[in-house]
Structure 1
């Protein structure tokens, strides 16, 4: 009988970033490392800096051994939900950002004409001002 994998959103994971409740994500897997903090060879502050978010880059940069990677697997509690929106540091999901960029590209030319004209006029005036000096 296959085991069911629990899926977590980044929003849910981001709520677990305290010393007594410490989750992180590495390679799409969610780890509850709360009980390991005191045993971490690099100290708990190194782990606490990346809790509640994707720690793949920091984990890889540290050059963990094969045994450290095997130990990490014992703390796996689930996986990152691929269908959940990803909240960026700017507070919008990547799906919202893509939609905004698409809408921006679809604006008619008339919406770009006024700002482009203002930039053009500013450049001309700036050159004239500098030329007079």
Structure 2
């Protein structure tokens, strides 16, 4: 029978000689890639950290070797999805949008016209 632990019990194992990590509702002991990686993810559900690294299928199969037990899901706090605050578009100099759009159209045309004008002027002087 699989032992079920609480998150508080897992949190007690948070140093390099005794480190447990919760991944996918189970927790692991030891890490073939080194202890530093584990220490930074102890005391929480590290499933996202594990997935973000992009572990290989070999690494995933090795999890069975380090498996210690299951975690009581009711002891893990619910994840809250971050929603950025709604803010209006910031127009630093308060220039109306239509003026900005006109300038974005006219400025390149003026620059092109000046370049062509300078080229024609310099050719006519030769």
Report the TM-score range of the alignment, normalised by the length of the smaller protein.
Answer: 0.5 to 0.7
Q: Shift of the alpha carbon at 1:52?
A: 2.9
Q: In the TM superposition, what whole-angstrom CA distance separates every residue of 1:51-78 from its partner, at most 9, and x where no partner exists?
A: 2321101100000000000111211111
Number of aligned residues? 78
- Unpaired stretches in structure 2, ≥5 consecutive residues: 79-126
Distance 1:72 1:56 in 2: 12
Larger Rg: 2
CA distance in 1, matches of 2:62, 2:43: 19
Rounded to whole Å, the distance in 2 between the matches of 1:82 and 1:47 is 20
Match of 2:42 among 42, 51, 54: 51
Runs (4+) off by over 6 Å? none
Provide the aligned C-alpha RMSD in A.
Answer: 1.7
Secondary structure at the residue paired with 2:73? coil
* Equivalent pair of 2:16/2:36 in contact (CA under 8 Å): no
TM-score by length of 1: 0.53
Q: Say if 2:12 is the partner of 1:19.
A: no
DSSP-derived class of the 1:68 partner: helix
Alignment of 1:78 onto 2:75: no
- C-alpha separation between the residues in 2 aligned to 1:45 and 1:77? 19
Q: Is the 8 A contact 1:22 1:51 kept in 2?
A: yes
Greater displacement, 57-66 / 44-53: 44-53
Instruction: Give the counterpart of 1:29 among 26, 30, 33.
Output: 26
1:15-55 deviation digits (Å, cap 9, x = unpaired): 1000011001001001111xx3xx41xx4322210123211
Q: How high is the TM-score relative to the length of structure 2?
A: 0.56
